[in-house]
Amino acid sequence: MKLLIAWLAALADGWATMFAVRKLRRMGIAPICGGSGRAAALKQDAVELLAKAKAFSDDDTLTPEDRATKFDAAFTEYSAKQSEYEAEQIREDQMAAALEKGQPDPSQVRDPGEARPKLTDADKAKGGVQLAEGKVVSFADEKTEGWIKGYPADVQIPDILRRLTPELREQADFRKAAFFKYCRRGIAELDAKERKALQEGTDSEGGYLVPTDAVRLPTIMAKGVRAGRMRSRSSVFQTSRDAGDWPTVTDNVTWAFVAEEAAPSNSDPTFGQVPFTIRKALRINKISTELLEDSAIDLPGLLGRLFTNGLGRTEDQQGIEGDGSTEPLGLRTTGAPQGNISDFTDLITLAAPTVAEVINNFYELPEQWRDNASWFTTSSFMARLASIGATAAGIHVFQELIRTEPTPTLLGKPIFLFDGTGWDDAATIAANEEIGAFGDFANYFFVDRVGMSITRLDELYQGNDQIGFKARVRYDSFFAENDAFRIIKAAAS
C-alpha cells in the first residue's frame, strides 16, 4: 500500500508539473535555467527511482532479505529525491506567480518616441491642429500613439502634455488644481466634482494620482547645493521593466588587403551587455495640521520644489559614488561588469596642479570621446586651477581672468561643477583623492521607470495630529562605456 500511494502521488505530481509548464508557455514565459526544467528533471528522477524500488520489490530472483534491503535503499533514495522535487516545485510556483503578476498589460507598454508630434504641411492640415514654427502639429488625445491607457491627461508623458486638445488641457488643469487643494485642506474641502477628478479610471475605484509638476509660489529660500548637474548632460531613457540588459558591441572590425584568390581572415565585433536594475528612493516629511491650515504660503508646492532639488542632489551624488549594488552605479565605483573607469596616469600634484598635468589629462582621454567631452569636478578644485600662475610673473594672466568668470571652459571643453557629497574636496589636495572626471557624459545613462510622485498621508501620523507627504521615485543610472571617462586623481605623495 505504501508503494502504491507513493506511485500514485508521483504520477499526479508529474501531470501537475506538465500543466504548470504549459501554463507558463501560454503566458509567454520561457522556462528559466534552474527553474521549471529543473523541477521536471527532479520529478523524472524521482519517478525512475520509485520504479527501481518497485522492481526490487517484485524481483523473485532475490531472497526476501536482499529484496527488502534493496527496496528500502531505493525507496529512501526516492524519498529524498521526491522531497527535493517538492521544494523546487514550490519555488517554481512562487516564481511563476510573481512573473504572472508582474506582466504588464501590453496596451500600456509604449515607446515614448511614438508620441512625438509629426509635422504636416499647412495646406494639407485638417481640423483640430495647432501651428508650430510654420508647420501644423496635430493635437494629442486618448487615441494618439504614446497615450498611456487608463490614465488621465495630466500624468501623460511630456510629448503628449505639450499638445493636448483644449478640452483635455482644461481637464488636466482642473485635476491639478483639485490635487493641490486636497494637499492643502484635505478631502473634506473638495466638492463632488473635485473628488471625482482625483480618482483614477472608474469613479468607484480610488487611488490619488499626483501631477508631474508642482505649482510654486515665491518663497525666500536659502539655496542648497545646485542639483541635477549630471542628468541634463547624460542620456535619459524610459523603461516599463524593473531590470534589463543593454546590448553592447565593440567597433573594432578591421579591413585587410589580400592577394588575388587568397582567403580573407575574420574580423568580428565583440558583443556584450550592460545590466541595469530599477531602484526606489523615498522621502517623507511630516507637517502639523495647524501649519497646513494657517500657513500663508503653498506648503505642498514648496515641498514639491524641495523634493525635486533634493532628488537632483541625490542623483548627482549617486552618479559619482553610488555603490552599483543597492544604489545606482557611480563613476568612482569599481567592480562593474562593463569594467572600471581608469584614473589619469598623470596624477595631480599635491602642492598645486600644473598646466602640463591638465594638458596631459586632456589628451589621455581617447580621441574618439573628446569631441563631446566635459569636465566634471568641484568649485574648490577649479579655484586651484584658475590660480595657476596668478602671482608674480603670471599677473597678466590673472588680470585677464578677472574680467569674466575664469573657468567656463577648460581647453575648450565645458565645465560643470557639483559641490555636494561625491567628489573629494580639493581645497587642499590630499593623497589619492579623486576630485573629478573628464569624459563623454552621453555615455552615462539614466533609466527611468517611475518619475517623482508626491502622496499625502492623512492617517499615518494622526496620533500626533500631523500630515505626511511622501515623495517616491524609481530609476537606475550607470556608465555605459567605461573607456569614455577618466578620473582626475591626486598623487600618492
279: pLDDT strictly greater than 90:
yes
The average confidence (pLDDT) of the chain is: 77
- Higher per-residue confidence, 39 vs 340: 340
- The rounded distance, in Å, linking the Cα atoms of 276 and 270 is 20
Higher pLDDT, 248 or 448: 448
Residue type, 21: V
- For residue range 418-444, what is the model confidence (pLDDT) as tens digits? 999 999 988 888 899 999 999 999 999
Average pLDDT estimate for 24-47: 59
In sequence order, what are the residues at sequence separation of 6 or more whose Cβ sits closer than 8 angstroms to the Cβ of residue 491?
Answer: 347, 348, 349, 350, 431, 432
Per-residue CA distances from 162 to 28, 340, 361 (Å) = 36, 40, 43
Domain region containing 147 = 112-197
Q: What is the mean pLDDT of residues 142-160?
A: 77
What is the per-residue pLDDT for 408?
Answer: 79
Between residues 343 and 455, the one the model is more confident about = 343
pLDDT in the model for residue 43:
83
- Taking 70 as the threshold, does the pLDDT of residue 176 lie above it? yes
Higher pLDDT, 20 or 380: 380
Q: What pLDDT was estimated at residue 131?
A: 58
Least confident of 46-60, 138-152, 349-363: 138-152
Provide DSSP, 260-321. Answer: TTPPPPP----EEEEEEE-EEEEEEEEEEHHHHHH-SS-HHHHHHHHHHHHHHHHHHHHHHH
The answer to whether 80 and 109 are in contact (CB under 8 A) is no
Do residues 174 and 223 both lie within one domain?
A: no
For residue 202, being part of any structural domain is answered with: no
Proportion of the chain above pLDDT 90, given as a percent: 24
pLDDT of residue 361: 94
- The domain tally of the chain equals 3
Within-domain flag for 343: yes
Q: Does 280 reside within a domain?
A: yes
Q: Is the pLDDT of residue 6 over 80?
A: no
Identify the pLDDT of residue 212.
43
Has residue 20 got a pLDDT over 50? Answer: no
CB atoms under 10 Å from CB of 332, counted, come to: 20
Is the pLDDT score of 333 beyond 90?
A: yes
Residue 208 placed within a domain: no
pLDDT of residue 394 exceeding 70, the answer is no
Instruction: Tell me the per-residue pLDDT of 407-418, one tens digit each, with 9 for 90 and over.
Output: 678 888 999 999
Same domain for 392 and 478, yes or no, is yes
Q: How confident is the model at residue 172 (pLDDT cuts 50, 70, 90)?
A: confident
Residues 425 and 316 in one domain: yes
Q: Confidence band (pLDDT; 50, 70, 90) for 107?
A: very low
User: Do 127 and 94 belong together in one domain?
Assistant: no
**103, 123, 139 — which closes off a domain?**
103
Does residue 71 form part of some domain? Answer: yes
Confidence of residue 248 (pLDDT cuts 50, 70, 90): confident
Same-domain check for residues 430 and 462: yes
> 185 and 226 share a domain?
no
- CATH code of the domain containing 333: 3.30.2400.10
pLDDT at 426 (0 to 100): 80
Q: What is the pLDDT of residues 303-314, one digit of tens each?
A: 888 888 899 999
Does the pLDDT value for residue 63 go beyond 70? Answer: yes
Q: What is d(CA 412, CA 41) in angstroms, rounded to the nearest whole number? A: 63
pLDDT at 432: 92
Strands 374-377 and 413-417: parallel
- At 116 the pLDDT is 58
Q: Same domain for 305 and 357?
A: yes
Claim to verify: residue 94 and residue 174 sit in the same structural domain = no
Q: What are 318-331's pLDDT values in tens digits?
A: 999 999 999 999 99
* Torsion sign (Cα): 320, 326, 328, 333: positive
Q: What proportion of the chain, given as a percentage, has pLDDT over 70?
A: 74
Which amino acid is present at 35?
G
445 CB burial (10 A radius; 0-12, 13-18, 19+): buried
**Residue 376: per-residue pLDDT:** 95
Q: Is residue 455 over pLDDT 60? A: yes
- pLDDT, average across residues 249-278: 85
Does one domain contain both 89 and 125?
A: no
Which tens digit of pLDDT belongs to each residue from 211-231?
444 444 455 666 778 888 999
| C-alpha grid cell, residue 286 | 511630516
Same domain, 322 and 395: yes
**Last residue of a domain, which of 197, 230, 249?**
197
Question: What's the predicted TM-score (pTM) here?
Answer: 0.56
pLDDT digits (tens, 9 = 90+) for 74-98: 888 888 888 888 888 888 777 777 6
Using the 3D structure, point to which of 48, 78, 103 is the last residue of a domain: 103
Report the alpha-carbon distance of residue 232 to residue 34 in Å, rounded: 42
Q: 203 lies in a domain?
A: no
Q: What is the pLDDT of residue 61?
A: 83
Same domain, 466 and 424: yes
Q: Which residues pair with 135 in a beta bridge?
A: 132
Strand intervals (E) in 192-278: 235-238, 243-249, 271-277
Edge-to-edge strand list for the sheet holding 279-288 = 235-238, 444-457, 466-479, 279-288
Report whether pLDDT(103) > 60. Answer: no
Cell of 418: 557639483
In a domain, 469, yes or no: yes
How high is the pLDDT of residue 135? 65
Q: Note the pLDDT of residue 327.
A: 95
pLDDT at 130 exceeding the cut of 60:
no
Pairing state between β 434-439 and 374-377: antiparallel
Rg for the chain (alpha carbons), in Å? 32
Q: Per-residue pLDDT for 56 more than 90?
A: no
Where do the H-state alpha helices sit in 284-428?
289-294, 299-321, 355-364, 367-370, 379-386, 395-401
In a domain, 209, yes or no: no
Considering the domain architecture, whether residues 117 and 93 belong to the same structural domain is answered as no
| Closest among 420, 390, 424 to 407, alpha carbons compared | 390
